Amino acid sequence: MSENMLPAPSEFRKLFPEAMRVIDRLQDAGFEAYFAGGCVRDMLLGRLFKDIDIASYARPDQVEDLFPNTHAIGKAFGVIQVVEGREVFEVATFRQDLAYQDGRRPEGYEPSSPQEDASRRDFTINGMFLNPQTAELIDFVNGRVDLDDATLRAIGDPVIRFQEDHLRLLRAIRFASVLEFKIEDHTWQAIQQAAPLIQKISVERVRTEFVRILTESPQAGQALILLRESGLLAFILPELLACVGCEQPPEYHPEGDVWNHTVMMLDEMEDPSEALALSILLHDIGKPNTYSQDESGRIRFQGHAQVGAEIAEQWLTKMKVSKTLRETVVGMVYRHMDFISVPQMRKATLRKIVARDCYEDELELHRIDCLCSNGITASTQRLIEARKEFEHEASLPHPWIGGKELIAWGVPHGPEIGRWKDLAYEQQLEGTFPDAHALGLWLQERLKDGA
C-alpha cells in the first residue's frame, strides 16, 4: 500500500539534507532505503521529532563499508549508527527477529524484506516507511488508517507482541497518552493480561518510560488512569493505589479522594520538569497511612508530608533515580505543606524559599495543589510577590550547617536531614546566632531533646 505525503515540520527540514545524503549513498550503492518508524508517524501527524531512522537492504558490514564514520552499537540486531554532518542516524537492515528469550531483545536477526520488517514492529502507527526520494508512503500494516482514526493497535497478534518485548506494555501507554489515541480493544486486553510481565524489565527502562509518560502526556492524569486500569501501576508504584477511595475533608477538597486530586493535578501540568511531575505524583502518597477521623467526623492526615517523603525516598531509590533528582523530589514532597503558612512567614524564611534551586517547581506544585482543591491562592500570590521583592538583593550566604554535620550528630539519612538543614539555615538567616559554632551547639541540644 502506498500514497503520497508531504512532510513539512521544521525538524524535517533541519535533518533532511543529512538524512538524504545517507539515503542517496545507500541507493547509489544498490540498496533500497526508506525512512522508518516513529519519524514517519510524526511527519504524518505534523509533530516535532528529534531523529530520523533509516531501514535498508544493506547489511551492517555493507553500511560500515559505505560510510566513513559509523558506530557499531546495535550491530548484533542489524543496526549501525551513521554519523553524517552533525547528525547521527540509525541505519537498520530490513529484518526478521529471531526468538525473544529475555522479554526485551531478540537473540538475533535474519535479513528480510520491508514487508516482513514491518510485521515484526510493535504498533501499526510505527510500522510505516517513507521513500523520501519520491515522497511515497509504504504501509503494509494499515498504519495510516489507524493514524487517521487516532487508534493504537498492535501489529499482528498483540499477545505475541507483548510476550516478545515486555517494555511494549509501557510504550503502548506512552504512545496512547502522548498522542491522545484510543487503544484498540484486543491490544488493550492483551496489555491487561500481560501487565505482570513488566516486572521482568529492568527498573531503569521502566523508570524512563514511566517518567516520559508523566512529562510528555498532554494530560498526565489520564495517563495515570490508563496505568491503573491496565494493571501496570500495581507493579510500578503500588503504594499509589491506596490513594483510591482515601477520602479527604470536603471543605478543603471538594474534588474528592486523594486519587482524584492527584489525577487532576497531573492533568493541570504544562511541560513539567521531571522533578515537578514526580513531586505532584507523590506529594500526597503519605495520606492513606496517616488517615484518621475524630468523633465529629473530621478527617486528618497528621504528618502525611513526612510519611510521603519517606515513601518517595524508598520508591525513587528502588527506581534508581539520580541522587540529585531524588533529593529534590523528596524535599518538595516533605515541604509541600509548609506553603500554607507563607502569608505569615518572616522575610528571612521567604527569602530562603525563593532562593532554592527548585523554587519555580515548588511554586508550581503549590499553585496546582490549590487550584485542584480549595482554590485559595493567597500563598501563591505571596510567593510571586516575594520573588519580585528579592530579585535584586544580594545572593544568600552559604549554609553553615550541612548534611555531613547533621549525620555526624545522629540525624538519620532521609527526609529528616532536609528538615534540620532548613531549620539551621532559617536560624542563620535570621541572625539568631553569631557563628556556625553557636548554631551547631544549639542544634545538638535540640537533637538531644528530640525536638
Compute the Cα dihedral for 199, 205, 207, 212 and give only its sign: negative
Query: pLDDT value at position 202?
Result: 94
Burial pattern 299-324, b for ≥16 Cβ within 10 A else e, equals bebeebbbbbbbbbbebbeebebeee
Percent of the chain whose pLDDT exceeds 70: 93
Count CB atoms within 10 A of the CB of residue 35: 27
Q: Please give the Cα distance from 221 to 264 (Å, whole number).
A: 6
Pairing type for strands 151-152 and 299-301 reads unpaired
Contact 227, 266 (CB under 8 A): no
Half-sphere CA count of 249, side-chain side, radius 13 A? 12
Burial pattern 226-261, b for ≥16 Cβ within 10 A else e, equals bbbebbbbebbbebbebbeebebeeeebebebbbbb
What is the distance, to the nearest Å, from the Cα of residue 152 to the centroid of all Cα atoms in its chain?
20
At 443, list the grid cell.
Answer: 542544634
- The residues with which 3 forms a beta bridge, in sequence order, are 137
Query: pLDDT value at position 108?
Result: 67
Query: pLDDT value at position 71?
Result: 94
Contact 365, 275 (CB under 8 A): no
Compute the Cα dihedral for 174, 179, 182, 187 and give only its sign: negative
pLDDT digits (tens, 9 = 90+) for 285-299: 999 999 998 888 899
Query: pLDDT value at position 330?
Result: 95
- The residues with which 151 forms a beta bridge, in sequence order, are 182
The ranges of the chain with pLDDT < 50 are 1-4, 6-8
Q: Please give the Cα distance from 17 to 169 (Å, whole number).
A: 35
Query: pLDDT value at position 449?
Result: 75
Q: Which domains, and CATH codes, for the chain? A: 2-149 (3.30.460.10), 158-236 (1.10.110.30), 240-389 (1.10.3210), 403-449 (no CATH)
Query: pLDDT value at position 117?
Result: 93
pTM of the model: 0.84
Residue-level length of the chain: 451
Contact 117, 55 (CB under 8 A): yes
What is the distance, to the nearest Å, from the Cα of residue 439 to the centroid of all Cα atoms in its chain?
40
Cell 501499526, located at residue: 124
What are the Cα distances from residue 1, in Å, to 39, 121, 128, 136? 18, 17, 10, 10
SS3 of the chain: the string is CEEECCCCCHHHHHHHHHHHHHHHHHHHCCCCEEEECHHHHHHHHCCCCCCCEEEECCCHHHHHHHCCCEECCCHHHCEEEEEECCEEEEEEECEEECCECCCCCECCEEECCHHHHHHCCCEHHHCCEEECCCCEEECCCCHHHHHHCCEECECCCHHHHHHHCCCHHHHHHHHHHHHCCEECHHHHHHHHHHHHHHHHCCHHHHHHHHHHHHHHCCCHHHHHHHHHHHCCHHHHCHHHHHHCCCCCCCCCCCCCCHHHHHHHHHHHCCCCCHHHHHHHHHCCCCHHHHEEECCCCCEEECCHHHHHHHHHHHHHHHCCCCHHHHHHHHHHHHHHHHHHHHHHCCHHHHHHHHCCCCHHHHHHHHHHHHHCCCCCCHHHHHHHHHHHHCCCCCCCCCCCCCHHHHHHCCCCCCHHHHHHHHHHHHHHHHCCCCCHHHHHHHHHHHHHHCC
pLDDT digits (tens, 9 = 90+) for 301-321: 999 999 999 999 999 999 999
